[in-house]
Chain A
Amino acid sequence: MTPTAVQAVIAGLERAGVTVASYLPDSLLEPLYPALDAHPGIRTIPCTNEGEGAAVCGGVFLSGKRAVLCMENSGLRAAAEPLARMGLGSGIPVVMVMSYRGELGENNWWAVPHGITMEPLLAALRIPHRVVREEAGIEQAVVDAYEWSYSAYQHSAVVLGGSVVR
């Protein structure tokens, strides 16, 4: 992930008014995490699993502040239970920025399941998403995700793939 892609994510979060980021770091978004940690307007809360991070973000929503959950797309599987309960059951939205492990071009066997399961799982959870493969689209995708989630009170996801993360 290039420094300019990192800055595009952060620019989107700034425009969306995000002040809290929970994350479980991964390799494709590796430079994003220290950049979030270093941001003076964002408090980071590293979590032990993505389901916990999703719940932290849900709690931040209830406070009137805005949070983001950053993770590898495999974290979607770990977070499926709390996401289903919060989104479909209670109308508590979580906006996610995740890396697209396992898309075409993936060269790690262990990452293949991430790509196969991500979009069906997003669909099953009724979570709209946008796959962004060009840096120029990152900032607006993040802003759009917040606009939608704060109208629908349901989760949304920005998936960073292609040359953005490789």
Chain B
Amino acid sequence: MTAAPASSMTRFSAMEALAGMLSDELVVLSLGGAVDEWYTAAPHLREASLFQQQLGCVTPQALGLAVGLPHRRVVSLDTDGGLLFNLGVLATLGNEQPGNLLVVVWDNERYQSIGGPRTHTSSGTVDLAAIARGAGVVRANTVRDVGAFAAACAAGLADTGAPHVVVAKVDTSPEGHVAAGHPVVRRKHSDGREDTYRFVRHVEATEGVTIMGPSEHN
């Protein structure tokens, strides 16, 4: 059985809207189709984006990055499956209140990377934004169209006093992608270690620091 899309907003159109707002931010993002779509939708941010392949780690890693670089804006591009894997991080965000962190949750109500089995948000009873608010991230909202998504992200990027969570209900079906006239998305051709080095070199260059430096030859 194929369930109806979670929203008429395609993830790619939302990514394009967000990418247009970003310049020197750092991005951490999750696995699956979102990786390849972001690589295509935000070519100017490829060096500044850490492409991960794991559930439950994206927002915690983004939190660590935000804590380490408090003067820098950090964007976590998480997913419904990824956030559901570790809802506890919302409580940590509620306690830590990182003002330089924006969390976007691509909620397509399914585990798309393995073919589309439903996640818990597909039931309509699980409200990730409400869970976030209950955990102390009071600026957490669900959006279903690109205009509302862009406004919520803009508000989050402008607010340096508290973290924001934007739960974006999106259609990630191939049919929706094609119907919206989006470009063909190809698989990103790199692995985790290459992605780490590339991201770290970008942080090193923009922060003037050495993170993965040479050996001391003693």
B-contact 0/1 string along A118-155, CB 8 Å cutoff: 00000000000000000000000000000000010100
A-contact 0/1 string along B177-215, CB 8 Å cutoff: 000000000000001110111011001100101111001
Would you give the shortest CB distance from A23 to chain B, in whole angstroms? 12
A-B CB contact pairs (8 Å), 10 listed: A45-B96, A55-B64, A56-B60, A62-B199, A64-B209, A64-B211, A65-B67, A81-B56, A86-B54, A89-B54
Q: Report if B131 contacts A (CB, 8 A).
A: no
Q: Which residues of B contact A86 (CB under 8 A)?
A: 54, 57
Which of A52, A53, A61, A64 contacts B204, CB < 8 Å?
A: A64
Alpha-carbon separation in the docked complex, A51 to B191 (Å): 22
Q: Which residues of A contact B207 (CB under 8 A)?
A: 64
Q: Are B67 and A46 in contact (CB under 8 A)?
A: no
Alpha-carbon separation in the docked complex, A56 to B66 (Å): 10
Q: Which residues of A contact B199 (CB under 8 A)?
A: 62
Q: Which residue of B lies closest to A89 (CB)?
A: B192
Interface centre among A58, A63, A64 (most CB of B within 10 A): A63
A-contact 0/1 string along B38-74, CB 8 Å cutoff: 0000000000001011101100111111111100000
With A48-B89, A90-B192, A92-B196 as known contacts, state yes or no: A59 contacts B96, CB within 8 Å.
no
Instruction: Give 4 A-B pairs besides A51-B56, A55-B56 with Cβ atoms closer than 8 angstroms.
Output: A46-B92, A64-B204, A85-B53, A90-B193
Q: Are A58 and B67 in contact (CB under 8 A)?
A: no
Q: Which residues of A contact B197 (CB under 8 A)?
A: 91
Give me the interface of B with A, judged by CB distance under 8 Å: 28, 50, 52-54, 56-57, 60-69, 86, 88-89, 91-92, 95-96, 191-193, 195-197, 199-200, 203-204, 207, 209-212, 215
Alpha-carbon separation in the docked complex, A64 to B210 (Å): 7
Q: Report if A77 contacts B (CB, 8 A).
A: no
Alpha-carbon separation in the docked complex, A57 to B67 (Å): 10
Q: Which residues of B contact A52 (CB under 8 A)?
A: 56-57, 60, 86, 88-89, 92
When A and B form their complex, which 10 residue pairs have the shortest distance between CB atoms, in order from nearest?
Answer: A59-B64, A63-B68, A48-B88, A55-B60, A90-B192, A59-B61, A55-B57, A65-B68, A60-B64, A56-B64
Which of B50, B53, B67, B91 contacts A20, CB < 8 Å?
A: B67
Alpha-carbon separation in the docked complex, A63 to B62 (Å): 10
Which of B54, B203, B204 contacts A85, CB < 8 Å?
A: B54
Give me the interface of A with B, judged by CB distance under 8 Å: 20, 22, 43, 45-49, 51-53, 55-65, 67, 81-82, 85-86, 89-92, 151, 153
Which of A63, A81, A90 contacts B64, CB < 8 Å?
A: A63
Q: Are B57 and A47 in contact (CB under 8 A)?
A: no
Q: Which residues of B contact A65 (CB under 8 A)?
A: 67-68
With A48-B92, A61-B211 as known contacts, state yes or no: A89 contacts B64, CB within 8 Å.
no
Alpha-carbon separation in the docked complex, A56 to B28 (Å): 12
Q: Which residues of B contact A81 (CB under 8 A)?
A: 54, 56
Would you give the shortest CB distance from A38 to chain B, in whole angstroms? 17
Alpha-carbon separation in the docked complex, A85 to B67 (Å): 21
Q: Which residues of B contact A153 (CB under 8 A)?
A: 196, 212
Q: Are B196 and A91 in contact (CB under 8 A)?
A: yes
Alpha-carbon separation in the docked complex, A140 to B54 (Å): 33
Q: Are A62 and B211 in contact (CB under 8 A)?
A: yes
Interface centre among A45, A65, A67, A90 (most CB of B within 10 A): A90
